[in-house]
Amino acid sequence: MSISSAAWWRTAVIYQIYVRSFADGNGDGVGDIAGIRSRLPYLAELGVDAIWITPWYASPMADGGYDVADFRAIAPEFGTLAEAEAMIAEAHEHGLRVILDIVPNHTSDEHAWFRDALASDPDSAERERYWFRPGRGPDGALPPNDWRSVFGGPAWTRLLDDEGVPEDWYLHLFAPEQPDLNWSNPEVHREFEDILRFWFDRGVDGFRIDVAHGLDKHAALPDIGLDEEELLAEPDIADHPHWDRDGVHEIYRDWRRVADSYADSPQGPRVFVAEAWVRTATNRLARYLRPDELHTAFNFDFLKCAWDAAQLRASVDHNLRTLGEVGAAPTWVLSNHDVIRHVTRYGRDTDDIQRPAGTVPTDLTLGTVRARAAALLMLALPGGAYVYQGDELGLAEVEDLPLDSLQDPIWERSGHRVRGRDGCRVPLPWTGDAPALGFGAAAPWLPQPTEWKQQTVEVQTDDPTSMLALYREALRVRRSLPDLAGDELRWQAHGEDVLAFDRGTEFRCVVNLGAEPVEVPADAEVLLASAPLADGVLRSDVAVWLRIRK
Ligand code: GLC
């Protein structure tokens, strides 16, 4: 297979590899690069166009690698730089593009810059790379402002000097082990452009930008002035002092210039995808995708919808319209390493889909039926799509992990009130019924449910009715149909609870989210169905791809 051309990202299906949980090649219970290399044939056969690898850099792993100590080195538990280079080349040989994850909002507290900052004076240039500030109140005992960490608690931690005397505070919008970088400092800009080039020079096709909406902070670091609950609920306020500020766009224009400088390389242009949780129902996301900025962004709006035709239709329309205005390709995503897996979400009552794992009842049979339909819906929409590892196996959230196995910093930071995201990060089941289900030779870093032995890649490969078979077939059909290459979508009237749309000259997707059966037109050819059709009708929660003869 060969790497296809020009604007490949506009329609690409990108498979997310959460490194620690994908495949363990060296038998230490943690996924690694050797594991990824051994499974590249599986991914090529699945039929995806690219892989996105979550951070594999040197890291103390306080936040699963999103606390980077050295962006130019590989974490020893994952492998070496030479192995990373070999993996990139092998992926290309398999026809797979490679996207890495870059984390520009913060570093690890073990990054050389942060260590230097701690060892330097309060007014030093070393400290200017981060946000250090004196506290408020008597003796500076209160944090410099009211900002909260996304993981719970204040967004500030106070330093102690060598004698244990308290001094300045430093900002961390995530864990205390993730100090925020100061993007008003030109040195930070230079450093990250250099990191981009370091990996582009090694053949990487693009970057997923972590917390892309957080880099620019209001210079005065003003209070937000909301109570704790409102602060944590993605506040919908204009001119927010640290989310989605206009200043971030300058950064991405510079990054675009770096990516475009590779346009003439044999491999072609390099691309970006933004992780930007911006206000929904605005055109804020599209601002990141103006022609001289980033190429694509995750569409979390779609992921947050309940299994509800009106919500999904509105989300599709909103994204096609706002992104179309700037000429950007939409992307669709159902799950990732930060959210509850969609088999579980769709198995819950509509009002409960965002509730923390383990707190509400779930019907996994229903969730699985809907997840099959959702896969066909997502893969029929114009633009690109993301598949999170295990989606193709129909894995559900693991809601009952033993408490002493939890590693997500949210668990500690919430005072053991919120379990966090480990339930969607459980290592994949590949083969057999042995303890690690083919993940590796040792017990995995999070225990796998025993019933996953029914959901291994091996079991599903031999079962034409499996989720894996559905994904493989959907990806094969998607690639083979010229009708699915375009940008447009035409809704067909089919009742409130049905999503039906045409693309190209003869493709139609119909998804029945209602209780009433829906008839398939008699002269339509069924290309693919998420469940067997009974007497030419779509039952509740079934999706179908049709060739319509006109
Ligand atoms: C992003 C990542 C998440 C991480 C956070 C802090 O949201 O997807 O896993 O915890 O950024 O880097």
pLDDT band at 161 (very low <50, low <70, confident <90, very high): confident
Give the total residue count for the chain: 550
Q: Are 522 and 535 spatial neighbours (Cβ–Cβ below 8 Å)?
A: no
52 ligand 1 Cβ < 6 A: no
Segment 334-354 shows an average pLDDT of 95
Residue 229: which pLDDT band, with cuts at 50, 70 and 90? low
- Helices in 12-169 by DSSP H: which ranges? 33-38, 40-46, 81-93, 112-118
**Could you read off the pLDDT of 19-34 as tens digits, one per residue?**
999 999 999 999 999 9
Task: State which of 4-18, 100-114, 278-292 shows the largest mean pLDDT.
Answer: 100-114
Distance CA 376, CA 512 (A): 12
pLDDT (tens digit, 9 = 90+) per residue, 477-514? 999 999 998 889 999 999 999 999 999 999 999 999 99
pLDDT of residue 230: 63
Smallest CA-to-CA distance from 530 within 469, 464, 470, 462 is with: 470
The residue nearest atom 12 of ligand 1, judged by CA position, is: 66
Among 394, 398, 397, 400, CA closest to 454? 394
Is residue 351 classed exposed, middle or buried when 0-12, 13-18 and 19+ CB atoms within 10 A define those classes?
exposed
CA distances for 482 relative to 49, 227, 380, 505, 507, angstroms:
16, 52, 12, 9, 9
Give the mean pLDDT of the chain: 95
- The torsion region of residue 281 among left (phi > 0), alpha (psi -120 to 50) and beta comes to left
Residues 455 and 465: beta-carbon distance below 8 Å: no
Using 50, 70 and 90 to split pLDDT, how confident is the model at 107? very high
Mean pLDDT calculated for residue range 87-108: 98
Residue 237 vs residues 68, 240, 280, 301: alpha-carbon distances, Å: 30, 6, 12, 18
What SS3 state is found at 272? strand
pLDDT surpasses 70 at 250: yes
pLDDT of residue 232: 54
Ligand 1 site, residue 174, Cβ cutoff 6 A: yes
Mean pLDDT confidence for 275-285:
86
Instruction: Enumerate residues 6+ apart whose C-beta is below 8 A from 242.
Output: 147, 173, 214, 216, 217, 218
Compute φ and ψ for 167, nearest 5 degrees: -130, -130
- Is 275 part of the annotated catalytic residue set? yes
Rounded percentage of the chain residues whose pLDDT exceeds 70: 97
User: If you measure from the C-alpha of residue 415 to the centroid of ligand 1, how many angstroms do you get, rounded to a whole number?
Assistant: 19
For ligand 1, say whether the CB of 146 is within 6 Å of any of its atoms.
no
Whether residue 408 has its Cβ less than 6 Å from ligand 1: no
Of the residues 205, 275, 293, 392, only one is catalytic, namely: 275
pLDDT digits (tens, 9 = 90+) for 320-336: 999 999 999 999 999 99
**pLDDT reading at 352 higher than 60:** yes
**Helix/strand/coil (H/E/C) assignment for every residue in 394-428:** CCCCCCCCCHHHCCCHHHHHCCCCCCCCHHHCCCC
Question: pLDDT: is 438 or 355 the higher one?
Answer: 438
Taking the CA of residue 336 as reference, the ligand 1 atom at the shortest distance is: 8
pLDDT of residue 83: 98
Phi/psi-derived region of residue 269, left when phi > 0, alpha when psi is between -120 and 50, beta in every other case: beta
Q: Which residues contact 123 (CB under 8 A, 6 or more apart)?
A: none
210 is catalytic: yes
In this prediction, residue 345 carries a pLDDT of: 97
- Quick one: pLDDT at residue 231? 57
Q: CA 464 to CA 474: how far, in whole Å?
A: 13
Q: Regarding beta strands 537-538 and 156-160, do their DSSP bridges make them parallel or antiparallel, or are they unpaired? A: unpaired
Q: Which of 32, 210, 391, 392 is catalytic?
A: 210
pLDDT at 228 over 70: no
- 274 CA distance to ligand 1 middle (Å): 12
Q: What is the pLDDT of residue 288?
A: 97
252 lines ligand 1 (CB under 6 A): no
Q: Across the strands, what pairs with 529?
A: 544
